[in-house]
Amino acid sequence: NNANCDIQCEENDTCTAEIDCGGADVCEVSCLGDDSCSAGFTFAGANDDVNVDCQGQRTCTGAIECGQIGNCDITCVGDDSCSGALDLGAEVANLSCDGDGSCTGAILCDDNGEDCNIQCDGIDSCTQNIACGVAALVTSCDIDCLGNGSCAGGITCNAEQCLLACDGDSCTGNVAC
């Protein structure tokens, strides 16, 4: 439909069905209430930038799939937020996992051809496998595992350039570059 899509889920237990921004030029989704945005997200058909803000506790618990055009910015501030699989296949993908126990599903950034930036600052965040780049289809992958116990599920980076920072008893799984 080539319009902008702005979805605000401000109350607890709101936006519990799948959110699909297919055809939107710009898609903004804010999940502020606890237990909001509990189904999956599909942005695969989005025409440009996608921004998802998961601030409430246990928000954005379904899978999130970015489109391949534009930027995809996902912020997981709430504790136990973004617990589904995260597919960051945009031109430029930015994932910020600041909440404790956030981003506990597998994280994949494998076919965008550009840059992938993943920050795992929350305690016990990014606990499943992180895979970045397949056959160097990703130009650069920057992964920061600074939260205690973050990035415990292993990291595989096949980008042209891989930057990995680990601190606070993080990166305890296998790391392959």
pLDDT at 163: 92
pLDDT at 41: 80
Which residue do the tokens 């702005």 mark? 6
CB-count burial class (<10 Å; 0-12, 13-18, 19+) for 1: exposed
The answer to whether 73 and 54 have CB atoms below 8 angstroms apart is: no
- Strands in 107-109's sheet, in edge-to-edge order, are 19-20, 41-42, 64-65, 86-87, 107-109, 130-132, 155-157, 175-176
Q: Angle at CA 102, nearest 5°, toward 114 and 134?
A: 30
Distance CA(37)–CA(21), nearest Å, equals: 14
Collect all residues with Cβ–Cβ distance below 8 Å to 110 and sequence separation of at least 6: 89, 131, 132, 133, 134, 137, 138
* Ramachandran bin of 2, using left for φ above 0, alpha for ψ from -120 to 50, beta for the remaining angles: left
DSSP of 72-140: EEEEE-STT---S-EE--SSEEEEEE-STT---S-EEE-S-SSEEEEEE-STT-S-S-EEE-STT-SSE
pLDDT at 46: 67
The answer to whether 76 and 60 have CB atoms below 8 angstroms apart is: yes
Distance CA(49)–CA(26), nearest Å, equals: 5
Mean pLDDT by 10 residues, the chain (177 residues): 81 89 82 89 74 92 82 92 89 92 92 82 95 75 94 89 91 89
Distance CA(97)–CA(79), nearest Å, equals: 9
